[in-house]
């Protein structure tokens, strides 16, 4: 005889430990917040026991990744084992050529994994277009969540050891901890080994009041960006425009692009905020990953503010390796273009991502040429007069939005249709009707951009208020934010955009 209540508990427990591809475990879900609260209670017990703490965090991190990618969590374990052993070999090798071949092996293994899972069908599609449809059959290949992030992170470890900038770890569990640490595992930021590894065996774990308050502030900020702004404008406006652009006027298409610019910023920076905040609650510090990128007055400044951990990774491990700016002006421009083309390909296996990277690479090269030809031109625009800075922000933002159009559209046909509507069917007379019909969406878009463009001092004041608030008030703030998320969401929690990369 079975009891309904018992069956219900059993079903919930099974769901807790079962992988569901349609429901990954993400920071903005109620399940994660519940599990993380329990995780923190046990974590605090191990604050003076480094080995037990390391094993406990690894176990939770692998569970977290299993809930996102199923059995492919073993791929993460393999990457950790492979580069741990190769790194030790690089460090112990007596000859330079041996070190070189070992680092090449590390890069080949990592890029081989990334290439198979992410680019096999892309290459098959290109082959079929060249040699006829049916030349090769498409493969049913699952793309493990966040594989691009942990592959890049792992490669930076072996390359740093090859360059003599880092000594290898002696304990494999420490490296598995570094590579699998759940706050930044599936969508960054890409944390460098030399910044993170010294924090692993801190004893005891120290979480100051400032760290705790800052962590709470960042988690609340991230929830607001992701679950209130990004998800709402995506489901209620942006997705509709990009799905059927011909059903909407040019003004609506333009607002759809501007809306997506805000959506992807709030989605990705919201994840980064929560990742950095969660890490702070555990006693770890991550580098800043976004710095109000739409305030940028030049494209160079944009890439110093947007996805900072990726842009610095591409600079240090790709651009500089290609020669950087050391081989003359023409070679510098070529290196910039190639770096961004590969950066675009890193984001996705499609021509539109390559074009997105090419647009940014060309814009960076042209800006560098402008600085070389025009005396007094600045890389970041920080020294500009207010009027030239405002003009630079407007120009840079629209160049970036043209890139976002290619980034978001499902095909280049969608890009063409959107541009056609904007330039051939703008229909300005419909603007009042559109704004009224989507009042809540436009209000959120306006609020999002206003908050984004506020002086950084305003954000600092808000952070200080939360940091110095009593614990009871911090808990009430968290409860209020969760209540707001529950009230505004119109469907299931949406996965983070960068999970697909």
State whether residue 492 is helix, strand or coil.
coil
- Give pLDDT, residue 5: 53
Quick check: pTM over 0.75? yes
| Residue 142: CB atoms within 10 Å | 11
- Residue count of the chain, please give it: 501
Q: Which residues are catalytic?
A: 347
Q: Which residues of the chain have pLDDT under 50?
A: 1, 3
- Give pLDDT, residue 382: 67
- Give pLDDT, residue 137: 80
- Give pLDDT, residue 8: 62
| Rounded Cα–Cα distance for residues 409 and 471 (Å) | 44
| Residue 374: CB atoms within 10 Å | 9
- Give pLDDT, residue 1: 47
- Give pLDDT, residue 349: 83
Q: What is the pLDDT of residues 26-42, one digit of tens each?
A: 777 778 888 888 899 99
- Following CA atoms 168, 177, 346, 157 in sequence, which dihedral angle do they give, to the nearest 10 degrees? -10
Q: Mind giving me the DSSP string for 303-333?
A: HHHSSHHHHHHHIIIIITTTTTTSS-HHHHH
Sign of the C-alpha dihedral computed for residues 231, 237, 240 and 244 taken in this order: negative
């Amino acid at each position: 005889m079975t009891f309904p209540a018992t069956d219900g508990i059993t079903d919930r427990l099974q769901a807790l430990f079962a992988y569901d591809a349609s429901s990954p475990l993400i920071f903005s879900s109620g399940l994660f917040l519940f599990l993380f609260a329990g995780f923190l209670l046990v974590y605090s017990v191990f604050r003076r026991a480094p080995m037990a703490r390391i094993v406990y965090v690894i176990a939770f991190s692998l569970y977290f990744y299993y809930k996102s990618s199923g059995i492919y969590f073993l791929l993460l374990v393999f990457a950790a084992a492979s580069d741990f052993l190769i790194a030790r070999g690089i460090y112990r090798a007596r000859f330079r050529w041996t070190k070189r071949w070992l680092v090449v092996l590390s890069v080949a293994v990592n890029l081989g994994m990334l290439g198979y899972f992410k680019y096999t069908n892309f290459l098959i599609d290109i082959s079929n277009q060249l040699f006829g449809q049916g030349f090769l059959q498409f493969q049913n290949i699952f793309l493990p969540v966040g594989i691009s992030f942990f592959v890049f992170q792992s490669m930076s470890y072996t390359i740093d050891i090859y360059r003599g900038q880092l000594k290898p770890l002696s304990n494999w569990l420490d490296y598995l901890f570094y590579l699998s640490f759940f706050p930044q595992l599936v969508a960054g930021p890409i944390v460098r080994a030399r910044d993170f590894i010294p924090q692993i065996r801190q004893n005891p774990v120290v979480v100051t009041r400032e760290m705790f308050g800052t962590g709470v502030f960042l988690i609340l900020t991230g929830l607001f960006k992701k679950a209130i702004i990004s998800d709402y404008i995506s489901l209620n406006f942006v997705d509709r425009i990009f799905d059927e652009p011909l059903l909407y006027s040019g003004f609506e298409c333009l607002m759809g692009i501007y809306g997506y610019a805000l959506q992807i910023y709030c989605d990705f920076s919201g994840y980064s905020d929560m990742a950095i905040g969660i890490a702070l609650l555990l006693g770890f510090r991550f580098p800043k990953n976004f710095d109000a990128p739409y305030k940028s007055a030049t494209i160079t400044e944009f890439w110093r503010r947007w996805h900072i951990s990726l842009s610095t990774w591409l600079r240090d491990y790709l651009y500089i390796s290609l020669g950087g700016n050391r081989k003359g002006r023409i070679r510098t421009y070529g290196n910039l273009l190639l770096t961004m083309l590969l950066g675009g390909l890193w984001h996705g296996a499609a021509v539109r991502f390559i074009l997105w990277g090419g647009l940014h690479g060309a814009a960076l090269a042209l800006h560098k040429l402008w600085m070389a030809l025009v005396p007094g031109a600045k890389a970041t625009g920080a020294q500009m007069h207010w009027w030239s800075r405002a003009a630079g922000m407007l120009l840079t933002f629209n160049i970036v939005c043209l890139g976002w159009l290619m980034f978001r559209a499902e095909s280049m046909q969608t890009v063409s249709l959107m541009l056609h509507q904007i330039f051939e069917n703008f229909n300005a007379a419909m603007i009042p009707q559109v704004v009224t019909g989507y009042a809540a969406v436009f209000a959120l878009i306006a609020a999002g951009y206003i908050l984004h463009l506020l002086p950084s001092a305003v954000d600092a004041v808000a952070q200080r208020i939360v940091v110095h608030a009593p614990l009871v008030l911090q808990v009430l703030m968290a409860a209020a934010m969760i209540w707001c998320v529950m009230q505004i969401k119109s469907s299931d929690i949406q996965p983070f955009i960068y999970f697909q990369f």
